[in-house]
Structure 1
Amino acid sequence: MAGHSKFANIKHRKGAQDKKRSAMFSKLSREITVAAKMGMPDPDMNPRLRLAVNAAKAQSMPKDNIQRAIDKASGGEGEDYEELRYEGFGPGGVSIIVEALTDNRNRSATNIRTAFAKNGGNMGSAGSVSHGFDRLGFIFYPITAGDEEKILEAAMEAGADDIISSEDGHEIWTSMEELHAVSGALEQSLGEAETVKLAWRPHMMVNVEESDAVTLFKMIDALEDDDDVQTVWGNYDVSDEILEKLS
């Protein structure tokens, strides 16, 4: 149960959590609707929907918005979205995975390719970088949830595969198939997690220098600004000193 990760550091870089809330809510709503359409409209009976609802709650999305997105699926409303994954390379040799929900794959491919090309990267073929990642379940608890020993005991009892505690909080990793069960067990012992989601965890991190970090973050911002893009994952490791300079 050991390792090193910059997950929390990277996900909270440059105040990304604070920008463009309406666009973020739109993406969360899209995921909720798609999840509800694919299964039962009840989060307790639909693990993917529960993950989507938990992600929305973690971003303080109003309950009415969440329910409206579920009702849209139940009523057969809304577009039919296709799940797509794009892979490519960013500045400094960083590997990037982009997940999208789109009703127009040509538009998405063009926009994403452009975001790579204009910011020192290039889009690759399917599988060109994902072989360097594992698709896993990810659960995050803030440091206030307890000390490392308490979290470790709870995570092992719940059947988690790995836990990494730092001053930022506690990362708990599990298999994709066990995420629903493990997060449910942890909720019983630790309360509701800050984050419960499927994630791409890199096998190795790439250290990024300041000059490349500036361009890399511009590329990631351009990708995240696209309405069709749901999540952007990468194996980049940027030092706290550089992050502080760029924040």
Structure 2
Amino acid sequence: MAGHSKWANIQHRKGRQDKLRSKLFSKLSKEITVAAKMGDPDPDKNPRLRLAVKEAKSQSVPKDVIERAIKKSQGGDAESYDEIRYEGYGPGGIAVIVEAMTDNRNRTASTVRSTFSKHGGNLGETGSVSFMFDRKGEVLYPADAGDEDTIMMAALEAGAEDVESSDDGHAIYCADTDLAAVSDALESELGEAESTKLVWKPQTTTELDLDGAQKVMRLIEVLEDDDDIQRVTANFEVSDEVMAQL
């Protein structure tokens, strides 16, 4: 029975991972379509589109899916999306930023508001928590891309501002307006990155215990499960011990 239970759990996780991957592909495709519609459909002439395509490739989105998303932007029947940022507080006063692309602002606002309420948080006004974050470009490389000194040197030469290295890898940060140029310079020096995107970087973080982490991560999970939500950021961290229990 234990073996069967274990297999069922593995299957459940596999199904969850496949579902998340499908949603990720869909959200990356939406970003590509919006970027191409707002500017030039040629990534070389459109920095935002170039970054969107680069991020999609780093997440293994198939080439034909990327090309279809760009082509979709040029059709007369392409959906029109509004980009909206929601801000609020999660359980324990954790600051949360929710970035959305939607074709129905009322639907998305209602969903986000009710999700915060149901999971021990509350939605605030625009600007209510974003002052606790910095808008930055983020480029991620695996640990085997080089040692800390090598990555730091490459990052500084590329025009980056900061590097955070750990056993998990290297996170390189730059001004949001410099991301396209910095990521191109890094790619020529270090190879393709694991991820290249604009992020909200917390100025400070709050460490959560197991109960707090479970509540906040549940809120984030439900928000990210919504097709209108592109990205969720919060200013918390958990220790390795708590992560192991999660």
For residue 164 of structure 2, give the secondary structure of its aligned residue in structure 1.
Answer: strand
- Correspondence for 1:129: 129
- Correspondence for 1:5: none
**Deviation of the 1:236 alpha carbon:** 0.6
**Deviation of the 1:88 alpha carbon:** 0.5
Structure 1 residue identity aligned to 2:81: Y
How many residues are matched?
Answer: 233
- Correspondence for 1:228: 228
Q: Does structure 1 residue 175 correspond to structure 2 residue 163?
A: no
For residue 44 of structure 1, give the secondary structure of its aligned residue in structure 2.
Answer: helix
- Correspondence for 2:49: 49
The residue correspondences of 1:94-113 to structure 2 (distance < 5 A) are: 94-113=94-113
- Cα displacement string for residues 73-130 of structure 1 (whole angstroms, at most 9, x for unaligned residues): 1223321000000000011211000000000000000101111111111111110000
Q: Relative contact order, CA 8 A, sep 6+: which one is greater?
A: 1
- Correspondence for 2:71: 71
Structure 2 residue identity aligned to 1:123: L
Decide whether the 8 Å contact of 1:93 with 1:206 is kept in 2: no
Distance in 1 of aligned mates of 2:172 and 2:19: 26
**Deviation of the 1:18 alpha carbon:** 5.7
Q: 1:234 to 1:163 in 2, by over 3 A?
A: same
Structure 2 residue identity aligned to 1:71: K
Computed over aligned residues only, the root mean square deviation of the Cα atoms, in angstroms, reads: 1.5
- Correspondence for 2:158: 158
Identity %: 58
Q: 1:99 to 1:17 in 2, by over 3 A?
A: farther
- TM-score w.r.t. structure 1 length? 0.91
The residue correspondences of 1:7-22 to structure 2 (distance < 5 A) are: 19-22=19-22
For residue 136 of structure 2, give the secondary structure of its aligned residue in structure 1.
Answer: strand
For residue 196 of structure 1, give the secondary structure of its aligned residue in structure 2.
Answer: strand
**Deviation of the 1:19 alpha carbon:** 4.4
Q: Does structure 1 residue 219 correspond to structure 2 residue 219?
A: yes
Unmatched segments (≥5 aa) in structure 2: 1-12
Unmatched segments (≥5 aa) in structure 1: 1-13
**As a proportion of its length, which structure holds more helix?**
2
Distance in 2 of aligned mates of 1:81 and 1:93: 31
- TM-score w.r.t. structure 2 length? 0.91
Distance in 2 of aligned mates of 1:48 and 1:175: 14
